[in-house]
């Protein structure tokens, strides 16, 4: 008794529509060769280093430029919105 399972318990699921199922030969590696090397351990070393920098600036110059551009656009957009609100609040001359 209880709820009916959402997925069928048997492996009688139909093949995918847009591709053929890829079956691995016995003894072949489980990872695909196009994935490349695993960069996660290297990035963990960079981000976990205690150098006093915030995590969004740890990767150097590109992060600083992206941060500064984002802050400039945010401040500029806020200023633009305030000017647009001020202009919209003024009565029109007839």
Supply 9's token pair: 């318990």
Q: Do 67 and 73 form a contact (C-beta atoms < 8 A)?
A: no
Between 94 and 54, name the one with better pLDDT: 54
- What pLDDT, in 10s, does the model give residues 44-83? 998 898 988 888 888 889 999 999 999 999 999 999 999 9
d(CA 71, CA 68): 5
* E-assigned strand segments in 6-86: none
Between 40 and 74, name the one with better pLDDT: 74
pLDDT at 21 over 60: no
Q: What is the pTM of this model?
A: 0.52
Domains of the chain, residue spans? 53-93
d(CA 86, CA 31): 59
Look up the CATH architecture of domain 53-93: Irregular (4.10)
d(CA 23, CA 11): 14
d(CA 82, CA 85): 5
């Amino acid at each position: 008794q209880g709820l009916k399972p959402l997925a069928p318990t048997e492996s009688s699921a139909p093949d995918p529509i847009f591709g053929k199922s890829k079956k691995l030969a016995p003894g072949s590696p489980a990872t695909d060769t196009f994935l490349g090397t695993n960069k996660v351990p290297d990035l963990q070393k960079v981000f976990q280093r205690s150098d006093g920098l915030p995590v969004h600036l740890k990767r150097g110059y590109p992060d600083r430029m992206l941060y500064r551009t984002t802050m400039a656009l945010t401040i500029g957009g806020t200023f633009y919105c305030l000017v647009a609100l001020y202009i919209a609040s003024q009565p029109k001359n007839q």
